[in-house]
Amino acid sequence: MTVSPVPIPGDELRIPASTQWSALSGRSIRTTVREGDLALAFSAPLVFYLCFYVPLRRSMEAGGIDYAQYLLPLIAVYAMFFTGMFAGDRAAREVVGGMATRLRAMPVPAWVPLTARMSANVVRALAALAGSLVIGTVFGFRFHDVGAALVFVAVALAFGTALVLNTDALGTVTKNSDLSGTVLFGPQLLLVMTSTGFVPAEGFPGWIQPWVRNQPVSQVTDALRELADGRFTATLGVAAIWIAGLLVLGATFAVLAQGRRS
């Protein structure tokens, strides 16, 4: 004789995690569109590019550097930092607004809210990267190999994902959108301004050149610059190690932050 299992009250109302993720992702993406995040993510690289290209172009091209080609990779990296600031802000607002608390009280796996936010963050990153490539192309930036161009996009988005994971965790823990943006701004400014993104390492004083050459923004930017030219070198491997480390760090922080969310 077969005994039928006793139904658990509420089982019939339980929604599959994939459906929960889809619904929350759609909500997050619609919010980015409605509140103008995508427009801002797309337009910010245009402003960044012009602010640096216009004053520096003459001096750099006098030294034989195609500055449109040289500058674009850094603008793509800078756009990913900007996306990270959005991520920290949105995560903090979700906690402060009570959405995180409501989700925690429901039968929703902890990974669902995080990956739903990541979906929206990836859309922002795509918009920011598109803005970077559009303005760079207008001023003369070109890819020289299709395969390398695809790797360029993948590396830029991987770097952006690593940043987003870290800033999302920061916003979730601090519950302060202003603080998460401020905390990122200082390291971002230091890394960008002391990188090979604007000028070659030789343009810096000798005592700081080792840092300029080897810090993560320089390594990622140099790898993107070489990919734009259609070259695959050891720099790409070094950049991949930096990105992998940041991804592991961000994933660890994200898991810990989700465990502490309230």
The model's pLDDT over 126-148, given as tens digits with 9 standing for 90+, comes to 999 999 999 999 999 999 999 99
Residue-wise pLDDT for 27-48, tens only, equals: 778 887 888 888 899 999 999 9
Provide the pLDDT confidence category of residue 53 given band limits of 50, 70 and 90.
Answer: very high
Is 10 inside a domain boundary?
no
Is 137 inside a domain boundary?
yes
Is 14 inside a domain boundary?
no
Q: Are 155 and 220 in contact (CB under 8 A)?
A: yes
Is 5 inside a domain boundary?
no
DSSP class of 139: T
Is 17 inside a domain boundary?
no
Provide the pLDDT confidence category of residue 162 given band limits of 50, 70 and 90.
Answer: very high
What integer pLDDT is reported at residue 8 of this predicted model? 44
> What is the length of the chain?
262
**Long-range contact set of residues 204-208: C-beta below 8 Å, sequence gap at least 24:** none
Residue-wise pLDDT for 198-251, tens only, equals: 989 998 999 999 999 999 999 999 999 999 999 999 999 999 999 999 999 988
Is 71 inside a domain boundary?
yes
- CA-CA distance, 114 to 106, in Å (whole number)? 15
- CA-CA distance, 193 to 74, in Å (whole number)? 10
Is 202 inside a domain boundary?
yes
Q: Are 4 and 39 in contact (CB under 8 A)?
A: no
CB neighbour list of residue 167: distance below 8 Å, 6 or more residues apart: 84, 85, 87, 88, 91, 180, 184
CB neighbour list of residue 80: distance below 8 Å, 6 or more residues apart: 125, 128, 129, 156, 157, 159, 160, 163
Number of domains in the chain: 1
Is 176 inside a domain boundary?
yes
Domain region containing 102: 34-260
The string over 92-116, giving b where at least 16 C-beta atoms fall within 10 Å of a residue's C-beta and e elsewhere, is bbbbeeeebeebeeeebeeebbbeb
Residue type, 90: R
Q: Does the pLDDT of residue 157 top 90, yes or no?
A: yes
